[in-house]
Homo-oligomer: A and B are copies of this chain.
């Protein structure tokens, strides 16, 4: 860490700061320029609270030289992590996977029908919401435990591993046979939930929060990894910006950037990011071209959609068209 001291700070204040730093088992290297004094900290600075230092009145600014994420950091683990999801499905390190399924699990018929058709189109994981995070307390909150049962039945029938979202630490038992546990964007910094998941061995699908930086996403992955679970798949799913023509702004530069920062696989969710079904195809192709390790796409077959054709979900037929093109594109990218 480098600390830039303000021009007009008193010598005594600077001395006091240096004494305090040295009391933290660190050495300092002071260099005095025309406008500023710069203090370099030598040693293990990971226990220093950067915000505290930066807020000091004599400090103009600080600069961290090492990242706080260690286990997720590609610097220390240069090789891609490959996550083995079971059922022969892998993700990362060249393994590409499409997860598909309905927004909410509604019935056995719905789920089996969708699962069968997305599998035929090349999806390798079945997604479906059992516990639903809803902005309004008056909206449908999901089938909960029953929804997970339906997912497990669909898994038995089709052989597809399943991914579904957890919202409450106390539900962990219900997820025993779930293949990938999803942490939604709103819970990306629910640190107690992350710690709990660190104690399992399950693959975790960790979605980026709506206003979280890539560094914060990696720190949340680090929470899980610090607990011993290194099976993490990161997911870009759109951020909040001033423009609202799509529900969120899909930040595809995050894909190559995350893959530079970390060895973990990175997938993209074009359905939630855009909220508009006719953008799912171009954004799925763009995400694949940007180097994503996979996609998670909503597919439905329910009446209101069938009637009016729409929403953020694709029909099974539309999904097939997207998947076909994605696989063709993926070949060009990999060559």
Contacts and interface: CB of A to CB of B under 8 A. Distances in A.
A265 to B, nearest CB: 16
Interface in A272-330: 273-279, 282-283, 285-291, 303-305, 307-313, 325, 328-329
Given A169-B169, A191-B134, A285 B289 contact: yes
> How many protomers of this protein does the assembly include?
4
Contacts of A312: 51, 55
Interface residues of A, number: 117
Contacts of A313: 55
A256 B275 contact: no
A16 B307 CA distance: 6
Contact of A252 (B140, B216, B252): B252
B35 A289 contact: no
Contacts of A134: 191
16 contacts: A7-B75, A33-B42, A55-B311, A136-B219, A137-B195, A167-B191, A168-B169, A186-B189, A186-B190, A241-B241, A243-B251, A246-B253, A250-B253, A252-B283, A253-B273, A257-B279
List 5 A-B pairs, minimum CB-CB distance, nearest first: A211-B211, A55-B311, A56-B310, A289-B289, A285-B289
Interface of A: 2, 4, 7, 13, 16-17, 19-20, 29, 31, 33, 35-36, 38, 40, 42, 46-47, 49, 51-52, 54-59, 61, 63, 65-66, 68-69, 75, 133-140, 167-170, 186-187, 189-192, 194-195, 209-211, 213-216, 219, 222-223, 226-227, 239-247, 249-257, 260, 273-279, 282-283, 285-291, 303-305, 307-313, 325, 328-329, 332-333, 335
